[in-house]
């Protein structure tokens, strides 16, 4: 099928500690404030082509309020809306969020909220702040981790399979890797709309909860920047959950931590590129996962249980 989704994002994150979360994304992660509206601030990485890729909203709890998906065009947007409605998951059309055309809302089978759109405004640097290279959306921000753009999102699902099937069958995602436990159930699914190793990931919610976020990942171009980010987080007192290392799945290089509002955030780079049109899906077994990350690091237990909003017993 022709690609229907160009890419994921923006994402809207909720935070019960708005000021601290905003300071984290601006000062520590190095994102730029693009706009402010009501309880929300719109931010972008220096390499995001849209006006914003993160909407940070003050709320009573943490978690993901909305995940944007940009359709490859207006026709695809229309077709998708129809098929999603047919699948019983549609929630109707709305005026688009900041700088965005009409948007179609829906929920995935697990209950996460999405917003599909085709049109959006590009970021235009203010006069005198144009980047030196015209193929870059904005100036490199030499501040903090200087994350470039939103890269991928990992959603927790009580049952991975229905959401994975929906993404593949309706949204047109390709399934590159997955975990199949000994009992035949699916513990995780790594999907992408492009050759990038993973854009949309579902992993099993250890608490059987619905609609929770595992993490939002922001891109840097090099592993050195991931290592540097760890130094910056350390000095800034950010809670580092997993120090920089390499995933076996998708081969991404990571740094995980918890932003002040409680949401898990990743600084990521690397990850394999999948050029083969018939690339077989890599299936990881329970025994293989027990080996830990690529270089044998055992993931900390919280990584397998914690999500936002938090649930009883895992705060």
Which residues sit at the interface with a second copy, rule CB under 8 A?
1-3, 6-7, 28, 30, 47, 49-50, 70-73, 122, 131-136, 139-140, 142-146, 177, 194-196, 221-225, 227-228, 230-232, 234-235, 237, 240, 243-246, 248-251, 270, 272-273, 275-279, 282, 284, 288, 293-297
Q: Which is nearer to a second copy, 17 or 289 (CB)?
A: 289
Tokens found for residue 157: 């699902």
Q: Which is nearer to a second copy, 169 or 288 (CB)?
A: 288
Q: Which is nearer to a second copy, 198 or 212 (CB)?
A: 198
DSSP letter at 279 equals P
Is residue 229 classed as helix, strand or coil in its secondary structure? helix
Residue 215: CB minimum distance to a second copy, A = 17
Residue 111: CB minimum distance to a second copy, A = 26
Q: Which is nearer to a second copy, 69 or 213 (CB)?
A: 69
Q: Which is nearer to a second copy, 77 or 209 (CB)?
A: 77
d(CA 184, CA 106): 29
Strand 63-71 with 5-15, pairing:
antiparallel
Residue that is written with structure tokens 């760890």 in the block: 230
N residues, the chain: 315
| Greatest extent of the chain over all pairs of C-alpha atoms, in Å | 60
Question: Do the Cβ atoms of 230 and 255 come closer than 8 Å?
Answer: yes
Q: Which is nearer to a second copy, 183 or 278 (CB)?
A: 278
Residue 88: CB minimum distance to a second copy, A = 27
Residue 125: CB minimum distance to a second copy, A = 10
d(CA 310, CA 212): 8
Q: Which contacts qualify for 206-211: CB closer than 8 Å, 24 or more apart?
A: 206/304, 206/305, 206/314, 207/305, 207/307, 207/311, 207/313, 207/314, 208/158, 209/156, 209/158, 209/307, 209/311, 210/110, 210/111, 210/157, 210/158, 211/63, 211/107, 211/110, 211/111, 211/112, 211/113
Residue 38: CB minimum distance to a second copy, A = 28
Residue 2: CB minimum distance to a second copy, A = 4
d(CA 45, CA 149): 5
Residue 39: CB minimum distance to a second copy, A = 28
Q: Which is nearer to a second copy, 60 or 132 (CB)?
A: 132
d(CA 184, CA 161): 11
């Amino acid at each position: 099928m022709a690609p229907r989704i160009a890419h994921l994002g923006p994402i809207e994150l909720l935070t019960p500690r708005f000021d601290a979360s905003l300071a984290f994304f601006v000062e520590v992660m190095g994102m730029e404030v693009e706009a402010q509206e009501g309880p929300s601030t719109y931010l972008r990485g220096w390499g995001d082509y849209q006006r914003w890729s993160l909407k940070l909203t003050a709320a009573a709890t943490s978690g993901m309020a909305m995940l944007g998906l940009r359709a490859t065009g207006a026709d695809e947007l229309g077709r998708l809306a129809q098929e999603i409605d047919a699948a019983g998951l549609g929630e109707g059309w709305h005026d688009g969020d900041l700088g965005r055309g009409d948007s179609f809302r829906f929920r995935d089978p697990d209950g996460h909220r999405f917003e599909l759109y085709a049109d959006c405004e590009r970021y235009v640097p203010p006069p005198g702040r144009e980047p030196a290279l015209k193929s870059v959306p904005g100036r490199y921000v030499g501040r903090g981790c200087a994350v470039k753009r939103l890269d991928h999102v990992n959603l927790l699902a009580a049952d991975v399979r229905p959401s994975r099937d929906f993404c593949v069958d309706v949204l047109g995602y390709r399934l590159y890797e997955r975990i199949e436990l000994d009992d035949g159930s699916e513990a995780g699914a790594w999907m992408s709309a492009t050759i990038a190793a993973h854009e949309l990931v579902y992993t099993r919610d250890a608490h059987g909860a619905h609609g929770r976020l595992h993490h939002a990942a922001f891109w840097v171009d090099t592993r050195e920047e991931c290592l540097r980010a760890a130094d910056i987080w350390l000095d800034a007192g950010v809670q580092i959950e997993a120090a920089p290392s390499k995933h076996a799945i998708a081969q991404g290089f990571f740094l995980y931590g918890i932003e002040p509002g409680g949401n898990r955030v990743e600084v990521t780079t690397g990850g394999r590129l999948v050029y083969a049109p018939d690339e077989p899906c890599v299936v990881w077994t329970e025994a293989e996962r027990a080996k830990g990350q690529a270089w044998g690091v055992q993931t900390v237990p919280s990584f397998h249980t914690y999500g936002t909003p938090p649930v009883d017993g895992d705060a």
